[in-house]
Every structure is written in structure tokens, then in C-alpha cells.
Amino acid sequence: MSVCDEVYAKVVEKHPGQPEFHQAVKEVLESLKLTEAKRPDYVKYKVYERIVEPDRAIIFRVPWVDDKGEVQINRGYRVQFNNAIGPYKGGLRFHPSVNLGIIKFLGFEQIFKNSLTTLPMGGAKGGSDFDPKGKSDMEVMRFCQAFMRELFRHIGPDTDVPAGDIGVGAREIGYMYGYYKKLVNEHTGVLTGKGLEYGGSLIRPEATGYGSTYFAAEMLATRGKEIKGLVAAVSGSGNVAQYTVEKVNQLGGKVITLSDSNGTVVDEKGIDAKKLAWVMELKNVRRGRIEEYAKEFNVAYYAGKSVWEVITEQGIRIDLAFPSAHENEIDGKTASGLVKNGCFLVSEGANMPSTPEAQDIFLDNNVLYGPAKAANAGGVATSGLEMSQNSLRLSWDREEVDMRLQKIMKAIHKNALDAAAAYGHPGNYIVGANLAGFIKVANVMVANGVV
């Protein structure tokens, strides 16, 4: 049995009932096995054992009062996973499905993703089982303040810098930042994704979707292809999905799908800039459902179906897939459906959107498969650029930030490809991203001793 196999068995035993965490760890350890023989120092320093155990996991009660005057109790989390290469960094997710296992899987992935960005950031994640859907702005504000009332003592610009994720966007970051400032009496870069007027960075809202599209373009270039003229399916209709559509359009592609947790729309004519502006108003201002798109533009709506089920069941031809909603949204069946319907590239905007079975199907069918920790790293990379600007006390213009983002996505793509080739798996971006992300962190964990 390899060391990594033993470590995985222990993780399953010591973290029961956390299947998403097991899934994320298993995929990474499969890749890390390749380093065991070459790096006896990693074995000696027990880097594999140490990297799967969070530095700390903070769980707290979040009591708040709703508009009816009733007391509500949610649970808050912050898992600070690894700070070998920089302060803890990673988003906050507000969604009823949040539990400790979900936050641990996301925090674990973040270690390698953040390392890949080339910037000095450790890995963390947090959030709550609070559901912002259907809540008034004042309720969301009171929740955010209650959440920060505990979180503030665990974070700081050189300690841990949270940001957004599902259910946490500009509004929530604004309320949390305002309350942090009130509590600590400091105006610092303690959160990213801030509004432009109080320390935010241009391009941060766009960065995850733009980044996963840039990553797709890099993968296509290895086969002498470009996005221009290709048909894409995007899932979700939140932050990542919206800016993926924008960038695919700008690069001359056509996006024909969007979804939310209620269903999927298919618009064969393409979701152009005008329709996208309508979606942004629907989702970010009115906070409505994607079903309204079907009525507004007279296209098909599939209630209760994911984008991937609709493509599979309706036999819709696509070239590119950008899963941008949530974990495990593509399973083995729909992965086969995608391949059957012409899909030859998957660039993951969401975190861990493909099940292990789906990943195997993509690899077996020579699909250009860009795993989340590489493909969606543009978001946290631009958070890193926001931190740099906060430290410098100046702001870069759009062109400067976008140029840096593009450079980072190119570097991630190259480093992943190089690592995959160096360890005998050319073209396998899963192995490449895991190893390129890991080696930097592991070297520091050896250099800094057993801490």
C-alpha cells in the first residue's frame, strides 16, 4: 500500500459522513502518489498526512432577528486549512446545503488552487447554512452582521482574507466589511470582492468567468483551435456563469444555455450581450428565477432539469461545457451524454462539478478537461491582485488587472501541462494541476519544519 493510500483510508475513518471531502482528497492523493518515490523528504516530514488535516476548523452559532421579530439561528464555519505559502484565503458560501464536510472539501481544494495562481495565498473556506433566497436586504444585513460578530476575531489582512462564493456577492461582502470596520476600527483589506469605492478591484466580479474562458482558450490552442465559432453550454446563472457568457461572446463563441436550481433554459440563437444584460438585472437586482428568461425571449424551459440532463436527453449539439453552478452537477451518465453530443472541452467554473465517473469519461474520450482548481483560479487570483492593490494603497485600471489575470491563467495552464508531462501523464490537467499546486506548498512544509 502506498503512503497516499494509507492516508486516504485514515481520512475516511477520521472524517465520517463527509463524502465531498473524501472525494476531493481522493482525487488529489491519487496524483500525489506519483511524488512518493521521487521525494522521500515529503514522506519523512509526513507532508501527505499533514496536508489533509486542517490547521483549524471554527464552528459558531449565528443568531439574528428576522423581519417578523423572530429569532433565527444558523451555523457559521471557517476552515483554515493551510497557510504554508501565505495568509489563509478563500470564499464564504451561504447556502442551505453548507455543512462542515462541504467547507472542508472547498478549503482543501483552495490550497492547491491558490498555489497555482503564482500568488502567496494559503487555503481556507467558510460559510453558513443561511439561505439568502427570499430574505429582505435588512434580513441579509442582520445575518451578515451576526456572522461577522464572531468571524472578525479569526481573520485579518495578514491572517485570513475571506471573499464571496455561492450566495455571497457584492451585497453580502459590503455588509460584512462595514461591520468588520465598525468592530475593529480599521479600514484594511480583510475581505476581497469589495466595492470599487472602498478598496475593491476592477475585474474581480468578472474574474472567475473570464478566467475559466481564458483557460478554455489555452486548452483549445494546444489543438490549434479557438473559441470563435464554437457553441458553448454554461450552467448556473450567478456570478461565474454570467461572466463566462460575457467572455465567450467577446471571443466570438455562442452560449445557448443557463440554469438555476429550478431548471434550465436553452436559447439556440445564443445569449447575446443584450440578453445577458437582462439576465444580470434579473439575477443581481430583481433576484428572480431563470424561468422568466424563457418567457421573455420565447425559448424552451426545462423545469427540474440540469443543463447536462437537458443536453443528454434532448440531444443538443455543443462543443464546449462550462459547469458554473455547484459540486457534482455532471455525473457519469450526463458526461457520456455530453461526449455523445459533440462536447470536446470542459472548463470548470464551479468547484468539483464533475463526479469521479464523469472525470474518467472525459479523460477516456480525449476531452480537453480543465479541472476546477486550475480553470476557476482566476477568481481567487484576482482577489490576490485586490490584496496587492490594498497593500500598495492604489488601484490598477481594468487593462492592467485583466492583463495580469490573463498572464496568470496562461501560467497556470503551462505549469499544469509541464507537471503532467514531468510525471508521465502528458495532457492530463487533473494530475498536472494537483502536482503543480502541491509541490510548492509541500516544499515550504518541509522547509518550515514540523509546525
Give the list of residues 6+ apart from residue 239 with CB closer than 8 angstroms, or none: 164, 169, 205, 208, 209
358: cell is: 464523469
Which residues, in sequence order, are CB contacts of 74 under 8 Å at separation 6+? 61, 62, 64, 128, 129, 130, 143, 147
Give the nearest distance from C-beta 450 to ligand 2IT in angstroms: 28
Shortest approach of ligand NDP to residue 133 CB, angstroms?
Answer: 7
Q: Based on the residue annotation, tell me whether 125 is a catalytic residue of this protein.
A: yes
CB closer to ligand NDP, 241 vs 445: 241
**Least distance from C-beta 107 to ligand 2IT, angstroms?**
10
Residue 128 interacts with which of ligand NDP, ligand 2IT, none, CB < 5 to 8 Å by class:
none
Phi, psi of 322 (to 5 degrees): -125, 80
Which residue in the block uniquely carries the three cell numbers 453552478?
Answer: 325
Minimum distance from CB of 90 to ligand 2IT (Å)?
Answer: 5
Nearer to ligand 2IT, 200 or 379 (CB): 379
Residues whose CB falls within 8 Å of the CB of residue 194, separated by 6 or more in sequence, listed in order: 173, 174, 177, 200, 386
Q: Which is nearer to ligand NDP, 7 or 190 (CB)?
A: 190
Site for ligand 2IT in 88-117 (CB under 6 A): 89-91, 113
Q: Work out whether 28 is an interface residue with ligand 2IT (CB under 6 A).
A: no
Beta bridge pairs of residue 88: 122, 160
The active-site residue, picked from 104, 125, 254, 440, is: 125
Residue nearest to ligand NDP (CB): 238
Cell (9 digits) for 245 = 457568457
- Does the footprint of ligand 2IT cover residue 330 (CB under 6 A)? no
Taking CB under 6 A as the criterion, the residue among 189, 379, 432, 437 binding ligand 2IT is 379
What DSSP designation does 133 have? T
Of residues 288 and 342, the one with the C-beta less far from ligand NDP: 288
Binding-site size, ligand 2IT (CB under 6 A): 11
Q: Strands 122-128, 88-94: parallel, antiparallel or unpaired by DSSP? A: parallel
Instruction: Sketch the per residue contact string, 161 through 190, with ligand 2IT: x for CB under 6 A, - otherwise.
Output: --x-x-------------------------
Query: Cα-atom radius of gyration of the chain, to the nearest Å?
Result: 21
Smallest distance from ligand NDP to CB 37, Å: 33
Distances (CA, A) of 442 to 119, 124, 233, 400, 439: 16, 17, 37, 31, 5
Are the beta carbons of 91 and 208 closer than 8 angstroms?
no
Residue 350 partner contact from ligand NDP, ligand 2IT, none using kind-dependent CB cut-offs of 5 to 8 Å: ligand NDP
Closest Cα partner for 434 from 124, 118, 29?
Answer: 29
**Smallest separation, CB 411 to ligand NDP (Å):** 17
Based on the number of CB atoms within 10 Å of its own CB, is 226 exposed (0-12), middle (13-18) or buried (19 or more)? middle
Q: What angle do CA 119, 122, 124 make, to 5 degrees?
A: 130
Q: What is the DSSP string of 17-45?
A: T-HHHHHHHHHHHHHHHHHHTT-HHHHHT
Beta strands 56-65 and 88-94: pairing type?
unpaired
Using the rule CB under 6 A, is 192 a contact of ligand 2IT?
yes
**Min. distance of Cβ 291 from ligand NDP in angstroms?**
10
The answer to the question of residue 380 lying near ligand 2IT (CB under 6 A) is yes
Position 373 contacts ligand 2IT (CB under 6 A): no
240 binds, among ligand NDP, ligand 2IT, none (CB under 5 to 8 A by kind): ligand NDP
The site for ligand NDP (CB under 6 A) is made up of: 97, 164-167, 169, 208, 236-241, 260-262, 324-326, 349-351, 376, 379
Q: Which residues bind ligand 2IT (CB under 6 A)?
A: 89-91, 113, 163, 165, 192, 351, 379-380, 383
Give the catalytic positions in this structure.
Answer: 125
